[in-house]
Structure 1
Amino acid sequence: MVVSRPGSVFLGLLPLPERRAVADALRTETVGGLILLIAAVVALVWANSPLRGAYEAIRDFHFGVPALGLDWSIGHWTADGLLTVFFLVAGIELKRELLVGELRRPATAVLPVVAAVCGMAVPAALYLLTAQLGGGELDGWAVPMATDIAFALAVLAVISTHLPTALRAFLLTLAVVDDLGAILIIAIFFTSALNLWALGGALSGLVLFYVLQRARVRGWWWYLPLGLVIWALTAIGGVHATVAGVAMGLLLRTTRDDDETHSPGERTEDVLRPISAGIAVPMFALFAAGVGISGDALSKVFTQPEPLGVVLGLVIGKTVGIFLGAYLTARFTRAHLNPDLAWGDVFGVATLAGIGFTVALLIGELAFADGETGDHVKAAVLIASLISAVLAALLLRRRNAVYRRLYEQENPHVDHG
């Protein structure tokens, strides 16, 4: 007789709507991750070729509305403009997780929340320790805190043929909390001089957005102009414009009325997720990842305190923080893993979370706006993400082989190719 253990099983079987949402997200983000990888490679090759001057000229080309303070470079537009789409989708995902996903129940939410928080705190602490001991700048403490879910899922998709689906759900849930942490950091610590009138206008726009949602007003022609106004006022107000995207995502309804086949949040996510994964994030990568990679630059990644702190934070801090956070939570609370999973699986995924490409590059740009240090930190993000991807691939391939053998033992008459 099997006696069930008390407590809440995290990474167990998800409800059908949530399983469908996870599957759809995996398909889009995996393809998006591959496009993102291509964009990053193109940026690196372009920036280290004889055409580097053309790359910099395009990246630094300014256009916009100078009277509103929105005369930005193309690189700036991709970071503050296109990435707003990415963060709007993140806001919708966060709200869905809070209302109908794993985060709606405190007993199951505690494990990924604690793991994600530890996965942000430990990398930041490692960076601060490295920078302090090396006499470097402390401003980059937030750079190694973020995980790039698109890249991570792309790596997982390449190597995962028999790994439990629950591991993908864990990575997605972890990323939602991780994104929330990054959003709060950007909103609180990376703001310029505040324009209270503009921020008041943005807040009024969000209130109107909420009222329209509550009144069940439908039609994109209401929300698109209003969203653009909220975004512009947020940027003019001195808060990073991507915060506006998150706020609108959180305000969108994610539960369906009786006469609806899809909620406004679901419809918006269906439209914007391919744009986010296929256009917005790769375009940002194209103009953010173009750093010069010379022998001298690579050596400085491991000899200067700021980039070294980023590498240690992403490669070691993320793995240790997430794994220990999850293990200690399961050890000392009523939450526990699905009995079909092993802690080796979680360790592999924790290592995979060291891929900190998109948001890490964004925070790096905010923390080190100018100078060689900023380029070295960008190079550190790329190198650390590559190291984490390789280590995670090795670990998860071993776990995948274990699950493949178990599958073959349980299905001896199936042709395994």
Structure 2
Amino acid sequence: MARKLTLDFLKTEAASGSALALAAIAAVLVANSPWSADYFTWLKSYHVLQIGPIRLEETISDWIKEGLMAIFFLVVGLEIKYEIVRGELSDPRKLATPVLAALGGMAGPAAVYLLLSATMGAPHAGWPIPLATDIAFALAIFGFVGKGLPSSLRVFLLTLAIVDDLGAIALIAVLFSEGANWTPLFWALGALAVGAVAAHRIRIPAPFWVLGFALVWYLTVLSGLSTSLTAVAFAMIVPIKGRAEDRQSPLKEAMHDLHPWNAFLVLPLFAFAKAGVSFAGLSMDQAFAPLVIAIALGLFFGKQIGVMGAAWLASALKIGARPTGASWLQVYGVSLLCGVGFTMSLFIGVLAFPGAVDSPEQVEVKLGVIGGSILSAIAAALVLGFAGRRRQTDPVALQPEVEPLGPKSGQKLT
């Protein structure tokens, strides 16, 4: 069951990569078309949501960032919980290598960015931008070039990306949630506590889960905090086990229902809103500005150095192990793939440099993220494609992986 759910996740997220790519391309085309002014005006236009006494007024850009992206983080939180309880993350031996690789994949880009910040003068506030990995794009590229590669690499990439996203969410909460209004925040925490207790005592129908999430989201917006953290916190209270009378898992039901919306609406709409870069009046100085270079090289060099270095170190120290049936060349290809930081990096860029979507900082953030992600995607596709063809022509690699006959090390015969 765990394997089936993981494969379903991979298929859905991989398929959404095409929608993401089309949305990003459309954003760039529109931003450089005669409709460019209308595009940016639409993103900055204010819209009101009012239900009785409840009233919120935000720009389209903010509705997407704090509203729809909360659904994305809810889905990520559900995946994290499932993997911890039932999936790959439930086995410490399988968990160690991707977790350490994810930590290395955050430390490497931060180090590269801060080094370039000190030498080139890139804004210090941008260092968290190249730390994230885009799950959907990474899995989509892996799906295109991963034929002939061991399935363990897919699980390794998924686990690494989930832990990476968890770290990015924690950074968002710590770095970009200042000036909180504590009263609605305490109410939100109270609602989460009540929901957690109720979920273990009674069967909560799906509409009440929707209302509960909406309440926690609304209180978080009032508190001034990023909705990402409370979305993940809400996912943690969703039960993974169904009641005896229906045997339906609320968590799996929510994942099944939300994945298509998240993959084919939320993320593509976010890409369309955030990837629009106008090249009108763009000078070479801005195209190669310190912020652009620091983000791009942080994603391209920092990610591969951090992920590959941490994975190799975990194996050398016997803390973890290489994915089953995978070569170090294939692991290196995955480490390159982790440099595709599109959605999450753009999201962090919006938080790190708040302002208009067409401000100079936002333009440079987009150029850096897009440039670094494209470099990483091309390099990863070449390495993984070569590694896949090499494995297919290797007779040893084509042999099925079987458990050795006889007792395992340290196991006595009975």
Provide the TM-score with structure 2 as the length reference.
0.91
Establish whether residue 336 from structure 1 lines up as the match of residue 321 from structure 2: yes
Q: Distance in 1 between matches of 2:67 and 2:104?
A: 30
Establish whether residue 24 from structure 1 lines up as the match of residue 8 from structure 2: yes
Residue of structure 2 equivalent to 1:358:
343
How many aligned positions are there? 394
Q: Distance in 2 between matches of 1:42 and 1:410?
A: 41
Please say which of residues 64-73 and 319-328 is displaced more in the overlay: 64-73
Residue of structure 2 equivalent to 1:305:
290
The answer to whether the Cα contact below 8 Å between 2:88 and 2:155 also exists between their aligned partners in 1 is no
Q: State the one-letter code of the partner of 1:392.
A: A
Deviations, residues 52-71 of structure 1 (Å, cap 9, x unaligned): 01111211111125997831
Q: Report the alpha carbon displacement of residue 106 of structure 1 after superposing the two structures with TM.
A: 2.6
Which secondary structure state, in structure 2, belongs to the residue aligned with residue 157 of structure 1? helix
Select the residue among 161, 165, 182 that pairs with 1:179. Answer: 165
Please say which of residues 154-163 and 355-364 is displaced more in the overlay: 154-163
Q: Following superposition, which runs of at least 4 residues in structure 1 exceed 6 angstroms of deviation?
A: 66-69
Establish whether residue 91 from structure 1 lines up as the match of residue 80 from structure 2: no
Change (3 A) 1:394 1:108: same
Select the residue among 115, 129, 141 that pairs with 2:115. Answer: 129
Q: State the one-letter code of the partner of 1:81.
A: G
- Please show how residues 107-146 of structure 1 align to structure 2 within 5 Å: 107-146=93-132
Change (3 A) 1:335 1:90: same
Residue of structure 2 equivalent to 1:383:
371
Q: Which runs of 5+ in 1 are unaligned?
A: 1-16, 412-417
Aligned alpha-carbon RMSD (Å) = 2.0
Please say which of residues 242-251 and 166-175 is displaced more in the overlay: 242-251
Residue of structure 2 equivalent to 1:397:
385
Percent identity for Structure 1 against Structure 2: 35
Residue of structure 2 equivalent to 1:61:
45
Q: Distance in 2 between matches of 1:246 and 1:28?
A: 20
The answer to whether the Cα contact below 8 Å between 2:353 and 2:361 also exists between their aligned partners in 1 is yes
Q: Which runs of 5+ in 2 are unaligned?
A: 400-414
Q: Report the alpha carbon displacement of residue 406 of structure 1 after superposing the two structures with TM.
A: 3.4
Deviations, residues 267-296 of structure 1 (Å, cap 9, x unaligned): 000000111001011111111111113584
Residue of structure 1 equivalent to 2:406:
none
Q: Distance in 2 between matches of 1:410 and 1:384?
A: 34
Deviations, residues 295-325 of structure 1 (Å, cap 9, x unaligned): 84565343x2222110111000001100000
Q: State the one-letter code of the partner of 1:319.
A: Q
Q: Distance in 2 between matches of 1:376 and 1:354?
A: 18
Q: Distance in 2 between matches of 1:373 and 1:406?
A: 49
Which secondary structure state, in structure 1, belongs to the residue aligned with residue 265 of structure 2? helix
Q: Distance in 1 between matches of 2:281 and 2:386?
A: 33
Residue of structure 2 equivalent to 1:275:
261
Q: State the one-letter code of the partner of 1:386.
A: I
Provide the TM-score with structure 1 as the length reference.
0.90
Which secondary structure state, in structure 2, belongs to the residue aligned with residue 336 of structure 1? coil
